[in-house]
Amino acid sequence: MTKDQIEAIVLRTLRSIAPEADLSQIKPDVALRDQLDVDSMDFLNFMIGLHKELNVEIPEADYPQLATLNGCVAYLKRLEDKAERVGGNS
Amino acid sequence: MAEFVMPQLGADMSVGKLIAWRKKPGDTVTRGDIIADVETDKADIEVEVFTGGVIVKFLVQPGDKVPVGTVLAIIREEGKPVAEVAPSTMPSIAVPRLAEGPAPSKPLVERAEPVRLRISPAAKKLAADLGIDASTVSGTGPAGRILREDIERAAAAKAAQPVLTEVVSDRQARMRQAIASAMARSKREIPHYYLSTTIDMSRVMQWLADENLKRSIENRVLYAVLLIKAVALALREVPELNSTWLDGRATPHSDINVGVAISLRGGGLVAPCLHNTDRQSIDDLMKNFLDLVKRARAGTLRSSELSDATITVTSLGEQGVETVFGIIYPPQVALVGFGKVVERPWSAEGQVVSRPTMIATLSGDHRVTDGHRGGLFIAAVDRLLQELGEL
């Protein structure tokens, strides 16, 4: 999966959390919590949404790495690449 | 025969608009069934029925806006004869005063009166001339009768708030008005007292981190749930706080239903309750909390969730707030506020160490409890959070 494809999934998931937000205005390196006024419940739902979309487990300790849009894409890309490597070696 | 009335879903509700019936005459309903959808200033609510039986007749049609307490439908209770619902005994529409006084403990029903507002003919004509909805006006005449002067006051108030009235159809504006009404009433009528304590959160945060490490994403727990559960269990120890203030006295409640302040996206808030909060496991509470927030934001709350709380919990720590000075939501008698978890110097075992701490506050109604009992309550919340095994 490309970074663009992952970003599209992240944005789609965010849309379900903050339907009123204009996601085209999101600054990729600024915290999503600050831009979208999401609380811990919203963030948990965001994580659940990504889990369902991408079938990935994201430990709570890694949440800070997903604080921004770019952070989300980079983190999920690493997970994706790691999963592909493991799959390729098996 | 039982009357199904427009419920009062919080102190800030004086009228409700019937959106749709979910049942039809002849249907059998049991307690807890959703019978109608009602629009309030804050949200669209699924209204439950509290009496089982057979629906005999609907008295209000979808689209009608009626005062709280208005009889919407007649239900023949199980085992009761049909003769009881003869037309001569049909109830009338309730006409509660829409004043900003204490909320009625149950809807007022004027059995002897016909189905109409108590309003003088002159006032009725004036209301029509000035475009005032008489059902939203507080009557100051005998038995709440709306007088010409009441309509004039309502018209003057409307004229004084041109911006607000222009957007009154907007849900946000109406919600703001509803909150303003309830909070103004609270500040006017409830003698608040305030207590606070700083709670060492290190055990809670460690327990949560360990627990969530073992759980899949979908089963993780938010620390807010632990706070809600601790409040519920503390109410068992200080049951006076599990009351509502109605008709000039405290009414104790047996069930513990903790209300949770939920901010809505785009502004405003609602405070529905989690029923039987004290008896729910942490897992169930988390699942139901997720569902409650989702439905609150989607506008699909149930009537009992908005009317059964005796206390509200509000947590503003995520907004950076350290201390909450809460305003009680009448007819409830207390509000618990939780602030941000902050590392603070903490004295433990003769040493000053850095600990994650949180300031918890209690806003109490001094008509119902005093600082001593409030202090025991907030101390119980602290103790329960240290003894996580009891949660």
Which string of DSSP letters, residue by residue, matches B54-86?
A: EEEEE-S-TT-EEETT-EEEEEEETT--GGGG-
Among the listed ranges A67-81, B35-49, B274-288, which one has the minimum average pLDDT value? B35-49
Interface contact A41-B290, CB threshold 8 A: yes
The structure tokens 């160490």 sit at: B353
β-pair type (B71-77, B65-67): unpaired
Residue B125 has what pLDDT?
76
pLDDT digits (tens, 9 = 90+) for A3-47: 999 999 999 999 999 888 889 899 999 999 889 988 899 999 999
> Could you count the other beta carbons within 10 Å of the beta carbon of residue A65?
15
Distance CA B338, CA B319 (A): 11
Among the listed ranges A1-5, B154-158, B271-275, which one has the minimum average pLDDT value? B154-158
Q: Which residues of B touch A58 (CB under 8 A)?
A: 217
The reply to whether A41 touches chain B by the CB within 8 Å rule is yes
Q: Which residues of B touch A20 (CB under 8 A)?
A: 265-266
Q: Which CATH code is given to the segment(s) B121-176?
A: 4.10.320.10
CATH 3.30.559.10 range(s) for chain B read: 191-390
Give B384 or B151, the one with higher predicted confidence.
Answer: B384
Hey, which residues does B15 pair with through a beta bridge? B67
The reply to whether A59 touches chain B by the CB within 8 Å rule is yes
Mutate to test the interface with A, among B265, B274, B358 (most CBs of A within 10 A): B265
Q: What is the DSSP string of B91-114?
A: --------SSSPPPSS----TTS-
Interface contact B265-A59, CB threshold 8 A: no
Looking at chain B, the whole-number percentage of residues with pLDDT higher than 90 is: 52
Mean pLDDT across A55-68: 92
Sequence-distant (≥ 6) Cβ neighbours of residue B142 within 8 angstroms: none
The separation between CA B107 and the C-alpha centre of its own chain, rounded to angstroms, equals 15
Of B217, B266, B293, the CB nearest to A57: B217
Interface contact A37-B217, CB threshold 8 A: no
Range of the domain at A67: 3-89
Residue B81 has what pLDDT?
58
The reply to whether A57 touches chain B by the CB within 8 Å rule is yes
Distance CA B112, CA A9 (A): 63
pLDDT digits (tens, 9 = 90+) for B5-26: 888 887 778 888 899 999 999 9
**Are the CB atoms for B123 and B147 separated by under 8 Å?**
yes
- The domain spanning residue A59 has which CATH number? 1.10.1200.10
Alpha helices of B161-222 — where are they, by DSSP H?
A: 162-166, 171-189, 202-214
Distance from CA of A43 to the nearest CA of B (A): 11
Residues A70, A72, A77, A78, CA torsion sign: positive
Interface contact A48-B212, CB threshold 8 A: no
CATH 2.40.50.100 range(s) for chain B read: 2-89
Sequence-distant (≥ 6) Cβ neighbours of residue B330 within 8 angstroms: B11, B102, B103, B182, B185, B186, B189, B190, B245
- Between CA B38 and CA B48, with CA B42 as vertex, the angle to 5 degrees is 35
Q: Is the pLDDT of residue B302 over 70?
A: yes
Distance from CA of A60 to the nearest CA of B (A): 7
The per-residue pLDDT of chain B, averaged, comes to 84
First to last CA, chain B: 43
For the CA atoms of chain A, what is the radius of gyration?
13
Of A37, A58, A59, the CB nearest to B213: A59
Question: Topology of domain B191-390, per CATH?
Answer: Chloramphenicol Acetyltransferase (3.30.559)
Q: What total of structural domains would you count in chain A?
A: 1
Interface contact B212-A60, CB threshold 8 A: yes
Q: Is the pLDDT of residue B88 over 50?
A: no
pLDDT digits (tens, 9 = 90+) for B320-335: 999 999 999 999 999 9
Sheet of B28-29, strands arranged across: B2-5, B71-77, B53-58, B28-29
Q: Is the pLDDT of residue B40 over 90?
A: no
Mean pLDDT across B40-67: 87
**Are the CB atoms for B339 and B321 separated by under 8 Å?**
yes
Of A20, A39, A51, the CB nearest to B217: A51
The structure tokens 């203030």 sit at: B245
Whether CATH 2.40.50.100 fits B2-89: yes
Structure tokens at B264: 């809505």
Q: Is the pLDDT of residue B82 over 60?
A: no
CATH 4.10.320.10 range(s) for chain B read: 121-176
The reply to whether A22 touches chain B by the CB within 8 Å rule is no
Q: Which residues of A touch B209 (CB under 8 A)?
A: 60-61
Interface contact A44-B222, CB threshold 8 A: yes
Q: Which residues of B touch A44 (CB under 8 A)?
A: 217, 220, 222, 290
Interface contact A39-B263, CB threshold 8 A: yes
Distance from CA of B73 to the nearest CA of A (A): 37
Looking at chain B, the whole-number percentage of residues with pLDDT higher than 70 is: 87
Mean pLDDT across B179-207: 95
Q: Which of residues 63-82 of A touch B (CB under 8 A)?
A: none
Q: Which residues of B touch A41 (CB under 8 A)?
A: 222, 224, 289-290, 293
DSSP code at position B139: P
Amino acid type, B230: A
Q: Is the pLDDT of residue B135 over 80?
A: no
Structure tokens at A68: 């921004």
Residue B154 has what pLDDT?
78
Give B1 or A75, the one with higher predicted confidence.
Answer: A75
